[in-house]
Amino acid sequence: MNILESIRFAFSALWANRMRSVLTMLGIIIGVFSVITLMSIGDGVQNEFSSAVDSFGGNIAIVTAGDIEGGNMDPTAMMSLSALTMEDSDAIEALESVKAASPLMIVPGAITPPVGDPYLPLMVATNDRMAEIIDMNVIEGRSITEQDLNDKSRVILVGRDVAKIDFEGSPVGQTVTLLETEFEVIGILETDIEFLGGGSEEGGDSFLSGQMPNLHEAYVIPITTAQDVLDALNIFRINVEFETTEVVEQGVEEVNALMLDRHKGVKDFSVLTTDDLLDLFNQFFDILTSAVVGIAAISLIVGGIGIMNIMLVSVTERTREIGIRKALGASGANILSQFIVESSVLSFTGGFLGVALSYLATQLITNLYDIPTLITFEALGLAFGVSVFVGIIFGIMPASKAARKNPIEALRYE
C-alpha cells in the first residue's frame, strides 16, 4: 500500500466514524486556533507599532524618565518620577547636532468645555518647537508662539476630534476652564504623526490610537503656563530632532553625556531612538506572545493525547482486520505506516480546521474591535507542522501495538 492509498484509506476510516473523529480533533482544532489567533494579534500589533514609530522619521529621539536602555524593561524605572526639566530641554537644543527639542508635560485636572460636563481629557503642555518636530498642523487659528511661552499666556489648542465634540461651531475664540483658570482657544490641531500611539489623519481609529489617546483628542497649552498654573517642574519626556539622520548616533552620545553631566552622573533618564523604541516594544511583546502561545499550545498536547487514545481504541476494534492483512502478506511496517498515516491525517485535518477558524476569528477581531491582525506564513507553517508532528508522535504507540500483533491471535479476536 503506497502513501496515497494509505491517505485515502485513512480518510475512509475517519469518515466511517465521523462523530468520533470530530470529537478527537477538537483538541487539535482548539490548539491550532488559539496559537494562530494569538500569534496573528501579536504580529499585527507589532506591525502597526513599527509603522507608527517609523512615521516619526529616522532623525528623532526621545529623552524619557528612567533607565530603560539596553533592553531594561524594569517597570519601576519606567514609572519613576521624572527628573527631566525645562533646563534639560534648553541645554539639549543648544547642542550642535540638535535641530529642535520639545519638552512634554502631561497636565492633570478636569476641563470644562462650552458643551458638556467637566471631564478629564488628555492635556499636554509643550513649547513652540513641537509643531516642527512631529509635523503638528494647525488647520484653523494659530499655534503656540514664543511670545505665549514668555508671557505664560492662558491660551490653548484643541485637537480636531475634541473640537467637534466639546464645542458648537468653531472653537477658536471660545474659552474653556482648567483648574479654575480660563483659557482661550487659539487653534485646532491635526497631525499625520502618531503621538503616544495614535492618530492618523484618516480618523485616528487604529488599534493603538484606540488604546492610547492622541493629539486629535487632546488639549495643548504652553508649557510655561502649565508650570505657572500647576507649580510643577518635572517633564514627562523631551522630543529631540537632530539635524540629519547621519548625526543621530553622534547626537545621542552627546545628549547622553550632557544629561549625565547635568544630573551629576545619575542615570535617571534614557535617550531612545526609533530603533530603540522598536527593540523595546518587540522584546516585551515577544515575551508576552511566547508566554500566551505556550499556554495555548497545551491544547495541542491534550489533542495529541486524545488522538493516541482514539487510535488505541481503533487498533482494538480493527484487530481482525490487522490479522487478515498480515495473513495476506502485509508486513509490520505496512501496518505501522497505515496507523501513523491515519493519526497524522486526523491531526492535519484538525490543524486545517483550526487555521480556517482562526482566519475567520481574526477577521472578526479586526472588524469588530479594530485590533490589527496579521497571519504570517511562519505561523501557518508552525501550526501545520506542530499538528502533524503531534499526530505522528502520539500515533507511534498505537501503530506499534498494531504492528506487533500476532496474525493468528488477531484472526481469533472477536
146-180: per-residue pLDDT in tens?
999 999 999 999 999 999 999 999 999 999 998 88
- Residue 192: the pLDDT is 59
- Residue 35: the pLDDT is 85
From the list 287, 272, 224, the residue with the least C-alpha distance to 46 is: 287
pLDDT classification of 99: cutoffs 50, 70, 90? very high
Q: Which residue has the higher pLDDT, 78 or 294?
A: 294
- Residue 56: the pLDDT is 67
From the list 298, 383, 362, the residue with the least C-alpha distance to 45 is: 362
- Residue 8: the pLDDT is 86
Grid coordinates of 203: 480618523
- Residue 1: the pLDDT is 56
pLDDT above 50 for 197: no
The alpha-carbon radius of gyration of the chain (Å, integer) is 31
- Residue 72: the pLDDT is 54
- Residue 209: the pLDDT is 38
Mapping DSSP to helix (H, G, I), strand (E, B) and coil, where does residue 140 land?
strand
Tens digit of each residue's pLDDT (9 = 90 or more) over 24-52: 899 899 888 988 998 898 888 888 877 77
Residue written as grid cell 492618523:
200
Q: Which residue has the higher pLDDT, 381 or 354?
A: 354
The torsion of the CA quartet 123, 125, 126, 132, rounded to 10 degrees, works out to 20
Tens digit of each residue's pLDDT (9 = 90 or more) over 60-83: 999 998 887 655 554 444 445 788
- Residue 221: the pLDDT is 95
How far, in Å, are 86, 98, 176, 296, 388 from residue 158 at the CA level? 23, 28, 10, 44, 56
- Residue 201: the pLDDT is 39
pTM: 0.68
d(CA 93, CA 100): 5
Mean pLDDT of all residues belonging to the chain: 84
Q: Which residue has the higher pLDDT, 90 or 369?
A: 90
Q: Which residue has the higher pLDDT, 231 or 116?
A: 116
b/e per residue, 206-240, with b = 16+ CB within 10 A?
bbbbeeebbbbbbbbbbbbbbbebeeeeebbbbbb
pLDDT classification of 278: cutoffs 50, 70, 90? confident
Tens digit of each residue's pLDDT (9 = 90 or more) over 326-335: 888 888 888 9
pLDDT above 90 for 136: no
Instruction: Concatenate the DSSP letters of all residues of 84-100 into one string.
Output: B-HHHHHHHHTSTTEEE
Q: What is the percent of the chain with per-residue pLDDT over 70, rounded to a whole number? A: 89
- Residue 68: the pLDDT is 76
Tens digit of each residue's pLDDT (9 = 90 or more) over 201-238: 344 444 343 333 477 889 999 999 998 887 766 788 99
pLDDT above 50 for 358: yes
